[in-house]
Homo-oligomer: A and B are copies of this chain.
């Protein structure tokens, strides 16, 4: 293999450059030329590996989704034996809140995409499937937890999950604007999980 700097590797580098710009200077600052400069390649190279700006933007959104997925799995793995329903919820909600610099940047980019999708139907299709899938998944887990008697029978799992996800999103927004620290946001989430699952040992998020 001669030329072969690897097609996919190149695309990954460019996508990362795109996300770096989107998270620090916003999605409107993303242009073909800016990406080329950020990745230290020529404009032609960006055009070569992505036919469109549209294709480039979609690649960025896909990568963000993959990173989020990776973070959730990491937390689930870190919780080790604690595969309790509460452990799953804590892992997902903990993965949503920006905890370190990288997840903060990713959240900023994600917010930028989400906002753009609200007025751009092209992005809406790609971007809004993840939240729905998450809600369905968590609701299923919480329903079995309720059947096992782990939470009050008068709670509605779907409503509880919707509220927790909305809470995490709202808290994320306040963390991104530096209204609140990550720790303060995580404490609020824990508090609500305690209320939901009743008095029992708290799973510590154990972040940085």
Interface residues as binary, A153-169 with B (CB distance below 8 Å gives 1, 0 otherwise)? 00000010011011111
Q: Is A77 an interface residue (CB 8 A)?
A: no
Residues in B neighbouring A195, C-beta threshold 8 A: 195
A112 close to chain B: CB less than 8 A: yes
Query: What distance in Å separates the Cβ of A180 from its nearest Cβ neighbour in chain B?
Result: 7
Question: At the interface, yes or no: A41 with Cβ under 8 Å from chain B?
Answer: no
In the assembled complex, the Cα of A173 lies from the Cα of B172 at a distance in Å of 12
In the complex the two chains form, is A188's CB within 8 Å of B165's CB? no
Cβ contacts under 8 Å, A179 to chain B: 128, 131-132
Interface pair A26/B170, CB less than 8 Å apart: no
* Shortest beta-carbon distance from A61 to chain B in Å: 14
Residue A176 is within 8 A (CB to CB) of chain B in the complex: yes
Q: Can you list the 6 inter-chain pairs with the closest CB atoms, starting with the nearest?
A: A166-B170, A170-B170, A169-B170, A26-B119, A115-B115, A166-B171
Other than A27-B28, A169-B173, give 4 A-B pairs with Cβ distance below 8 A: A26-B118, A111-B118, A162-B174, A170-B171
Does A144 lie at the interface of the complex (its beta carbon under 8 Å from any beta carbon of B)?
no
Provide the A185-203 mask, 1 if CB < 8 A to any CB of B, else 0. Answer: 1011001100100000000
Interface residue? A37 (CB, 8 A): no
Interface bits A73-117 vs B (CB < 8 Å: 1, else 0): 000000000000000000000000000000000001001101111
Question: What sequence of 0s and 1s flags, for each residue 21-39 of chain A, a beta carbon within 8 Å of any chain B beta carbon?
Answer: 0011111110000000000
Residue A177 is within 8 A (CB to CB) of chain B in the complex: yes
Asked if A108 contacts B114 (CB within 8 A), the reply is no
The answer to the question of A40 belonging to the interface, with a C-beta cut-off of 8 Å to chain B, is no
Task: Count chain B CB atoms within 10 A of each CB in A116, A120, A124, A162 and give the residue with the most.
Answer: A162
